[in-house]
């Protein structure tokens, strides 16, 4: 039997343990998996693009467990009151191939993306950072704000979105967390000025320049989340040329990240090298750092591991009959009629 976690189950899990604790714990799973980077079979995700958006598959395994995520990106869905990003995923046993977990990953991806952002920022943001600009106030924004508050102690969030209603939504939702001061900014430039950290999480599938070089101040850390497919960017290329750039899996980020604007040999550092202590994250307080985040399959593997452990501990989820278990494994047909009627006597026609 396969453990199944639907959206309601995932919401119950995150509510029961508390969303900030869930973010922190998931970040621990992600960090542990990056620390054993060499054990994973890694490849860029497979993407099917259309005029309306993209549908992607993100697989990986560590030799013991296999996972994949199905995820879409359809920027125009909002006009029909549909989510622009939806996902589900599976965890399976490598030895037998049997699926052990089938789960929603829309809500969970929001948690894992925020957890990854804050985890990376712990190595890249200046010590003592207290303020963050959050550009793009859609479905991911609350999770980003809470992750940086929980894991880095960010207490001031300056928010901006071209849709003011989105900013008002974010401010309303964060009112439940009085330790976070939320400031509505009048422009990107206004939000970014003086911020220790800048997070961009916009949805338009376009070559955009949300941040331009004159907005960037010495010592800033930029958490670029929204540029995550070919033809979609958020940062002016000169910002990248003048910064220390961290990526998840270089072959994928070259295709999908903001660095798609740069030459193929432009210098980047894969995050696992920082986790394993090979290189430093931030080198000095004046350095500008960029996390060019596109999302990588290892992080979904980690989030599925976390969900499975959490669901079992909290006794949430259900067991489903996803794979046949016939009494005779060579007789799959018996599942269609497990108790066939007795054969009738043959009649001969004379």
Q: What does the pLDDT look like over 159-191, one tens digit per residue?
A: 999 999 999 999 999 999 999 999 999 999 999
Share of the chain above pLDDT 90, in %: 86
- What dihedral angle (degrees, nearest 10) is formed by the CA atoms of 237, 243, 246, 247? 10
Among 161, 228, 292, 300, the one annotated catalytic: 228
pLDDT of residue 339: 65
Are the CB atoms for 91 and 29 separated by under 8 Å? no
Burial class, 184, CB count within 10 angstroms (exposed 0-12 / middle 13-18 / buried 19+) = middle
- Asked whether the predicted pLDDT for residue 253 surpasses 80, the reply is yes
Does the annotation count 228 as an active-site position? yes
Q: How far, in Å, CA of 115 to CA of 162, rounded?
A: 25
Share of the chain above pLDDT 70, in %: 95
Across the chain, mean pLDDT equals 94
pLDDT of residue 350: 47
Cβ neighbours around 29 below 10 Å, total: 21
Tokens 């995050």 -> residue: 271
Q: Give residue 84's pLDDT band: very low, low, confident or very high (50, 70, 90).
A: confident
Q: Put the strands of the sheet holding 2-5 in their side by side order.
A: 46-49, 54-61, 65-73, 87-93, 99-104, 2-5, 318-320
> How far from 329 is each of 29, 212, 339, CA to CA, in Å?
36, 62, 16
- Asked whether the predicted pLDDT for residue 302 surpasses 50, the reply is yes
CA 259, 298, 239 angle in degrees (round to 5)? 20
pLDDT of residue 341: 57
Tokens 């959206």 -> residue: 7
Q: How far, in Å, CA of 168 to CA of 25, rounded?
A: 29
Secondary structure (3-state) at 44? coil
Q: Give residue 78's pLDDT band: very low, low, confident or very high (50, 70, 90).
A: confident
């Amino acid at each position: 039997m396969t453990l199944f976690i639907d959206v309601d189950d995932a919401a119950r899990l995150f509510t029961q343990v508390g969303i900030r604790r869930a973010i922190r714990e998931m970040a621990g799973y992600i960090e542990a998996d990056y620390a054993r980077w060499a054990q994973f079979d890694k490849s860029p995700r497979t993407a099917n693009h259309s005029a309306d958006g993209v549908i992607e598959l993100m697989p990986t395994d560590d030799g013991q467990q296999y996972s994949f995520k199905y995820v879409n990106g359809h920027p125009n869905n909002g006009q029909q009151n549909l989510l622009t990003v939806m996902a589900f995923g599976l965890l399976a046993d490598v030895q037998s191939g049997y699926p052990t977990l089938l789960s929603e990953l829309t809500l969970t991806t929001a948690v894992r993306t925020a957890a990854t952002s804050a985890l990376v920022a712990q190595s890249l943001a200046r010590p003592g950072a207290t303020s963050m600009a959050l550009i793009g106030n859609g479905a991911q924004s609350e999770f980003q704000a809470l992750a940086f508050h929980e894991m880095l102690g960010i207490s001031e969030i300056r928010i901006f979105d071209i849709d003011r209603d989105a900013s008002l939504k974010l401010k309303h939702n964060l009112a439940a967390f009085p330790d976070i001061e939320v400031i509505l900014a009048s422009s990107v430039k206004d939000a970014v000025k003086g911020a220790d950290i800048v997070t961009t999480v916009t949805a338009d599938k376009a070559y955009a320049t949300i941040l331009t070089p004159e907005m960037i101040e010495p010592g800033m850390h930029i958490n670029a989340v929204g540029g995550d497919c070919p033809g979609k960017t958020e940062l002016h290329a000169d910002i990248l040329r003048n910064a220390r750039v961290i990526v998840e899996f270089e072959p994928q980020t070259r295709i999908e990240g903001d660095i798609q604007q740069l030459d193929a040999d432009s210098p980047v550092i894969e995050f696992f090298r920082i986790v394993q202590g090979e290189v430093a994250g931030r080198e000095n307080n004046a350095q500008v750092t960029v996390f060019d985040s596109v999302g990588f399959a290892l992080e979904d593997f980690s989030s599925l591991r976390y969900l499975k452990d959490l669901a079992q501990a909290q006794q949430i989820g259900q067991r489903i009959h996803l794979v046949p278990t016939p009494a005779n494994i060579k007789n799959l047909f018996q599942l269609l009629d497990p108790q066939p009627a007795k054969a009738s006597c043959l009649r001969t026609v004379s």
